[in-house]
Amino acid sequence: MILHPTYDVNAAGHLTAAGLDTVELAREFGTPAYLLDTDAVRAMCRLYKSAFHDFFGPASTPAFAGKALCYKGLYRLIAEEGLAADCVSPGELVTAHAAGFPMAKVFFHGNNKTDADLALALDLGVGHIVVDSPDELEALAQIAAGKGAKPRILLRITPGIDPHTHKKIITGNVDSKFGMAIATGQADSFVKAALACPFVTLDGFHCHVGSQIFDIEPFRDACDIMLAFLARTRQTTGFEAPVLNIGGGFGVRYTERDPAIDYRANIQALGTEIDRMCALHGVKKPAILMEPGRSIVAAAGCTLYTVGSVKTIPGFRSYVSVDGGMPDNPRYALYQSAYTVVNASRAAEKAAFPCTVAGRCCESGDLLAEDVSVAKPSRGDILAVLVTGAYNYSMASNYNRIPRPPVIELSGGKATVAVRRETYDDLIRLDV
Ligand SMILES: *Cc1c(COP(=O)(O)O)cnc(C)c1O
């Protein structure tokens, strides 16, 4: 096993993913290519479902955050596993709908949903709209009134928590573009406005404190603050929220330096805290929702590349250039995210060649990893970047007019194309 159960080395000395030889997969499907071990994704769904059932109660459910990875086949898998889904854009809604996902189990997020987005959500029968601001509440009320609909909503509340994670992915702070803050009193008026609106049904509250969080503390703090808010709201308005959605954010092990996470133990700890807070405030335990994205799909995915050149600059460093880069994985360029890189063609050899892995774009910042060590590669070797299942395909672009790689699902010893590779024709299709 390398880092996660999905990855190992076979007798040929090649990296395997879900038991399949990645060098053979590269030959069959070409590179770059995203691989996804869907059995591992299902295992994570089941882990979340059973932990939620045991520690949050039978009314509680995990909702997969589609922004981590979004294509029709994945929504079908998520539906089969019985999870709800969190969508953050009309494009994600349309994808879920096209996959036959039960739209009543969808939560629709976003800090700026347009009138068209809101109308689409109502037309598609989205279960809950997570209303982000009073402006949006007013717009939704008008659109719903026009359609004779009465959508169920949650209100996005900002609990004001710094989860000690990367600044760009902190979203629970008071100074945030998302939601209305408790600390400023704006959350209270938001609730009153929603309760007074005859065109929506308020079901509860939502918050999201950040992403790639290893520590249980920010989640515990969020539960404490949100349950205290729920109790206070009952006192001031008589409304006792039946639903509390505490967002996503559990971390994932990208390198040996990251700790391994016991998700079930974390959920148990949160369940205990929620029970304690409900008893303390004398409120009925709401249905608890969480929206894991990264932790469901990240570890199950890896990206295969072909090495094009290995250049050593004496006194500086060695660059290994591959046939992908920031268009298929912008996370290093955006956040200097650390990854584990393996020479899949020589996975049994010692990883003793220190290097920087560079993409193929005309952009010096187009790197996938700096100062990593792999078994010494040469042109034609297959390089694998592990744990790319989340925020890679979903963040991919066509920068430099590079076609997006395919998504290849691996399950039960078989590999199937779930998203085909973009062609040059796809690239120019929209050009008039
Ligand atoms: C990003 C996001 C998630 C998913 O976060 P992960 O870190 O991938 O688990 C869930 N809910 C909301 C509202 C988000 O913005």
- Decide if 268 is inside a domain: yes
- In eight-state DSSP terms, residue 106 is E
pTM for the full model? 0.96
The residue out of 270, 292, 314 marking a domain boundary is: 292
Rounded to the nearest 10 degrees, how much is the dihedral formed by the CA atoms of 386, 358, 431, 31? -50
* pLDDT the model gives residue 175: 85
Task: Say if CB 152 and CB 203 are below 8 A apart.
Answer: yes
Q: Do residues 316 and 205 both lie within one domain?
A: no
Q: How far is the CA of 155 from the centre of ligand 1 (A)?
A: 16
pLDDT of residue 164: 66
- Joined tokens for residue 67: 């922004």
Q: Which residues pair with 62 in a beta bridge?
A: 290
| E strand or H helix that includes residue 298 | none
Q: Do 136 and 263 belong together in one domain?
A: yes
The answer on 387 and 344 residing in a single domain is yes
220 lines ligand 1 (CB under 6 A): no
My answer on whether 114 and 256 are in the same domain is yes
Domain total of the chain: 2
Strand 128-131 and strand 33-37: the pairing is unpaired
Q: Are residues 224 and 360 in the same domain?
A: no
Q: 246, 276, 292 — which closes off a domain?
A: 292
Which CATH number characterizes residue 174's domain? 3.20.20.10
302 is annotated as an active-site residue:
no
Are residues 16 and 126 both part of a single domain?
A: no
* Same domain (yes/no): 287, 315: no
Beta-strand relationship, 407-411 and 152-158: unpaired
In angstroms, the CA 423 to CA 29 distance is: 14
248 Cβ below 6 A of ligand 1: yes
152 part of a folded domain: yes
Question: 66 CA to middle of ligand 1, Å?
Answer: 9
Do residues 245 and 284 make contact, with C-beta atoms less than 8 angstroms apart? no
Residue 171: the pLDDT is: 58
> Ligand 1 test: best mutation among 61, 87, 154, 291, most atoms within 8 Å of CB?
291
Ligand 1 contacts CB of residue 246 (under 6 A): no
Q: Which residues of the chain have pLDDT under 50?
A: none
Q: Among 208, 215, 226, 263, which is best to mutate for testing ligand 1, by the most ligand atoms less than 8 A from CB? A: 208
Nearest ligand 1 atom, CA 213: 7
- Residues 265 and 126 reside in one and the same domain: yes
Distance in angstroms (rounded) separating the CA atoms of residues 247 and 109: 11
Does some domain include residue 2? Answer: no
Do 260 and 365 share a domain, yes or no? no
What sign results for the dihedral spanned by CA atoms 102, 42, 93, 145? positive
Is there a contact between 277 and 353 (Cβ–Cβ < 8 Å)? no
* 43 in any annotated domain: no
Map tokens 């996804």 to a residue: 36
| pLDDT per position as a tens digit, 38-64 | 999 999 999 999 999 999 999 999 999
245 alpha carbon – ligand 1 mean position (Å): 11
Residue 334: the pLDDT is: 95
Has residue 366 been placed in a domain?
A: yes
Q: Can you say how many angstroms the Cα of residue 257 is from the centroid of all Cα atoms in its chain?
A: 21
User: Residue 232 and residue 229: Cα distance in Å, rounded?
Assistant: 5
Instruction: Provide the residue range defining the domain that includes 320.
Output: 7-37+298-428
Q: Is 247 in the pocket of ligand 1 (CB under 6 A)?
A: yes
pLDDT value for 350: 97
- Domain end, chosen from 258, 292, 326, is at 292
**84 in a structural domain:** no
Question: Residue holding tokens 């700026």?
Answer: 112
Which candidate, 146, 147, 103, 111, places its Cα nearest to that of 130? 111
Is 18 a member of any domain?
A: yes
Angle CA(301)–CA(245)–CA(151) in degrees, nearest 5?
110
The CATH number linked to 393 is 2.40.37.10
C-beta 92 within 6 A of ligand 1: no
Shortest-distance Cα residue to atom 10 of ligand 1: 248
Does 334 lie in the same domain as 230?
no
Q: Rounded to the nearest whole angstrom, what is the distance from the C-alpha of residue 292 to the centroid of ligand 1?
A: 6
Classified as helix, coil or strand, 89 is: coil
**Which residue in the list 278, 302, 361, 362 is annotated as catalytic?**
362
